[in-house]
A and B are shown apart, each in its own frame.
Chain A
Amino acid sequence: MANKKVQEINAGSMADISFLLLIFFLVATTMNTDSGIQRVLPPMPDETQPQQAMDVKKRNILLVFVSKFDDIMVGGERMDITQLKDKVKEFVLNQTDDPNLPEKEMTKIDLIGNFPVSKGVVSLQNDRGTSYNRYIMVQNELTRAFNEIRDMVASQYFGGKKFLDLEEDQRKAVQKAVPLKISEAEPRNIEGGK
């Protein structure tokens, strides 16, 4: 009985074992990829330092206010959400050099050269009663306005490419040319008419 063959391991239950593992992973893991609107909050003002008056000219600010009834007021007039994007684009670009729209400052940027960078700031304010859904919709429209301007600048300087298709350093240059200036203001309680 010397040359007795080694018995083969029965692999019939392999499928069952791997099914068990599969089901374990199906239950214990999630697949969602989180995506969201990204923002950088302003740092908390230093309480030990005296408050400095903000030195921003009126023409450089676009006030976007969302009321507790989810109505939107842009620069003093009531507006529908569908008009918001174009209003912001018009404000930031200021193509006609309107004295009521923000100033531009010629800045030298690598890869682009001299570019008139807008000094405009979109100031977003909301009431405590505003719904989160509306707030995200407004944030989305603001982001969309800036993204479209960036796409425009990108295709103008980098041969018809979209902003997201650019190389890393080119993207940085476009970001510098069109900074995302959205200020999420200090909260305040607005009672009734202003």
Chain B
Amino acid sequence: MAVMKKKGDKTTPAISTASLPDVIFMILFFFMVSTTMREQDILVKFTLPEATEVQKLEKKSLASYIFIGQPIPSLQAKFGTAPRIQLNDSYKSTQDILEFVASERDKLSENDRLQMTVAIKADFMTRMGIITDVKQELRRANALKVSYTAQKTLGY
């Protein structure tokens, strides 16, 4: 005779959560490896222009960033809506670029100084006047490698 199953008090077994920490740790490690620390607060809002022929920045440690765009909405009451240049954590004028480049260059080792790249992150609506001024200052500061940051698209 087959063993009769008891009816009525059948409960679903609890799902084992013993491996949950392992799973979460795996996700954690994935994020630790694939992301970088947020380095600065961005005080300007910008939408990057789009391009197809973009190259990746070879080394992030060699890059310094110049942000150009309108102040973020919460600061517009104070600073207006004219495009601003952000270096490090504050709005600066073009005259400060020389000093900025010099300090960024000092952070790098002797061998890397020639490889320093300045990434210009500017809003696509910006007029070229301000960007030309920035470029002229960069030339004066002898930071000749620039990268016009753009979003990669597949083209048209």
Contact = CB atoms under 8 A, between A and B. Distances in A.
Interface of A: 11, 14-15, 17-19, 21-22, 25-26, 28-31, 33-44, 126-133, 135-137, 139-140, 143-144, 147, 184, 187
A23 B20 CA distance: 15
Contacts of A129: 127-129
Contacts of A137: 49, 51
15 contacts: A17-B21, A18-B28, A22-B28, A30-B38, A31-B35, A37-B51, A37-B54, A38-B117, A38-B145, A43-B142, A128-B129, A130-B127, A133-B124, A135-B128, A140-B52
B149 A36 contact: yes
A129 B34 CA distance: 39
Q: Is the interface of B mostly helix, strand, loop or mixed?
A: mixed
B75 interface: no
Contact of A42 (B55, B117, B124, B139): B139
A25 B46 CA distance: 25
B53 A131 contact: no
B125 A35 contact: no
A127 B132 CA distance: 9
Contacts, number: 150
Given A44-B139, A187-B136, A35 B150 contact: yes
Nearest to B27: A22
Q: Is the interface of A mostly helix, strand, loop or mixed?
A: mixed
Nearest to B49: A136
A135 B119 CA distance: 16
Nearest to A21: B28
Interface string B11-51: 00000011011001101100110111110000000000111
Interface stretch (B1-9, B56-64, B85-93): B56-64
